[in-house]
């Protein structure tokens, strides 16, 4: 069986589209379609079901991908290792949310650079986009807040982060004990600082603590949690942030926690790789290192 055909097949399987696979491979879409048809004729079985948007693998297609993809990834690793041996450097392509990756993952992985590992990082706030890039081979290792479906990607729980409802001290002083008595109603009178108009963090907190949706809108919307913290500390309004990010500000008194729920809302981070690639040394080393570091997070 032609390895070029298998490479095209695995790329289509991961991309879910002939068009996206063609772009990844640097081929025309007709060329990709022709290679898949050739492989299907050789196997005597259809590998994909054509749909209005992209393609869906058949059971035979899924089975072939699970068997072939790890070996193709290993061949790529051999080729890349051969290129890297001259400089003694191996490269890991990491993807994840900007704040967690910057403040947690990258500092934890930095010691590996002394062992000859080079890091290349991509930041994404959209988990689906991150997983698509991983499946398509753009990244080696991804940090996400959702567990992927299917068998092409393998996820390992990394850590849980606690979410804290915070505001500047002057807001807490103005509210006083009314937060404890009337909670949700009082809080919804405050301005809100968030990362998106849909209020993803505040909505998740409200669902966990009040079992409802917030009846409020964002006052300041900024797509970076670190900027959210700065705005909240400056008095722009309440915000929901992971404790690791606002812990120092809480200790310095720049912000205060408005509530202390018995069961604080949590969000789980996952380490995700393409199935089979943990056999590759740079990925396995970084994966192990992050899991070890996360024990102290």
**Between 41 and 26, whose confidence is greater?**
41
* pLDDT tens-place string over residues 92-143: 999 999 999 999 999 999 999 998 899 999 998 889 889 988 888 889 999 9
What is the rounded average pLDDT for all residues in the chain? 88
Task: Determine the average pLDDT of the residues in 234-261.
Answer: 95
pLDDT of amino acid 255: 97
Read out DSSP for 104-150? Answer: IIHHHHGGGGGGTEEEEEEE-S-HHHHHHHHHTTS-SEEEESSPPPS
pLDDT interval class at 188 (50, 70, 90): confident
* Overall average pLDDT of the 279-297 stretch: 91
Per-residue confidence band for 183, with pLDDT thresholds at 50, 70 and 90: low
Q: Can you give the pLDDT at residue 126? A: 86
DSSP 226-286: HHHHHHHHTTS-BEEEEHHHHHHHHHHTSSEES---SS--EEEEEEEEETTGGGSHHHHHH
SS3 166: strand
**Domain 90-296 in the same topology as domain 3-85:** no
What is the per-residue pLDDT for 100? 95
Q: pLDDT confidence of 190, banded at 50, 70, 90? A: confident
Give the residue-averaged pLDDT of 252-270. Answer: 94
H/E element holding 60? helix 59-84
Long-range contacts of residues 125-128, Cβ cutoff 8 Å, at least 24 apart: 125/97, 125/98, 125/195, 125/223
Q: What pLDDT is recorded for position 179?
A: 54
- Average of per-residue pLDDT across 246-261: 95
Distance, in Å, from the CA atom of 177 to the CA atom of 282, rounded to the nearest integer, reads 53
Burial class (CB in 10 A: 0-12, 13-18, 19+), 202: buried
Using CB atoms within 10 A of its CB, is residue 293 exposed (0-12), middle (13-18) or buried (19+)?
A: middle
pLDDT of residue 88: 46
Region of poorest pLDDT, from 60-74, 116-130, 188-202, 213-227: 60-74
Fold annotation for 3-85: Arc Repressor Mutant, subunit A (1.10.10)
Distance CA 188, CA 239 (A): 11
pLDDT band at 87 (very low <50, low <70, confident <90, very high): very low
Instruction: Give bridge partners of residue 194 from the DSSP assignment.
Output: 221
Average confidence (pLDDT) over 170-179:
74
Q: Encode 188-219 in three state secondary structure.
A: CCCCEEECCCCCHHHHHHHHHHCCCCCCCCCC
Pairs from 259-265 (Cβ < 8 Å, separation ≥ 24):
259/165, 259/179, 259/183, 259/209, 261/208, 261/209, 263/208, 264/162, 264/163, 264/164, 265/162, 265/163, 265/204, 265/205, 265/208, 265/209, 265/240
- Asked whether 232 and 255 are in contact (CB, 8 A), the reply is yes
Extents of the domains making up the chain: 3-85, 90-296
Tokens of residue 255, six digits: 């912000």
Instruction: Using the predicted structure, report yes or no on whether residue 89 has a pLDDT greater than 80.
Output: no
- Taking the domain 90-296, which CATH number applies? 3.40.190.290
DSSP annotation of 32: H
């Amino acid at each position: 069986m032609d390895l070029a055909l298998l490479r095209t097949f695995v790329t289509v399987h991961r991309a879910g589209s002939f068009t996206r696979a063609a772009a990844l491979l640097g081929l025309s879409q007709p060329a990709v379609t022709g290679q898949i048809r050739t492989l299907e004729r050789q196997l005597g079985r259809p590998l994909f079901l054509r749909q209005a948007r992209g393609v869906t693998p058949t059971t035979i297609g899924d089975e072939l991908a699970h068997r072939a993809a790890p070996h193709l990834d290993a061949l790529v690793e051999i080729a890349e290792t051969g290129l890297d041996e001259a400089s003694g450097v191996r490269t890991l392509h990491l993807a994840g949310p900007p704040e967690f990756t910057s403040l947690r993952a990258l500092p934890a992985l930095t010691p590996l650079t002394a062992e000859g590992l080079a890091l290349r990082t991509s930041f994404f706030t959209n988990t689906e986009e991150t997983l698509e890039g991983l499946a398509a081979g753009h990244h080696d290792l991804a940090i996400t807040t959702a567990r992927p479906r299917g068998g092409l990607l393998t996820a390992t729980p990394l850590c849980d982060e606690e979410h804290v409802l915070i505001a500047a001290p002057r807001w807490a002083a103005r509210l006083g004990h009314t937060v404890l008595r009337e909670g949700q109603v009082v809080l919804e009178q405050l301005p809100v600082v968030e990362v998106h108009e849909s209020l993803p963090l505040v909505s998740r907190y409200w669902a966990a603590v009040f079992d409802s949706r917030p009846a409020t809108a964002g006052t300041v919307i900024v797509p970076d949690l670190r900027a959210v913290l700065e705005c909240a500390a400056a008095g722009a309004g309440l915000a929901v942030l992971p404790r690791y990010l606002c812990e120092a500000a809480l200790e310095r008194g720049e912000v205060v926690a408005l509530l202390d729920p018995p069961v604080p809302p949590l969000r789980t981070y996952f380490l995700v790789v393409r199935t089979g690639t943990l056999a590759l040394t740079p990925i396995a080393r970084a994966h192990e290192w992050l899991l070890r570091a996360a024990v102290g997070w």
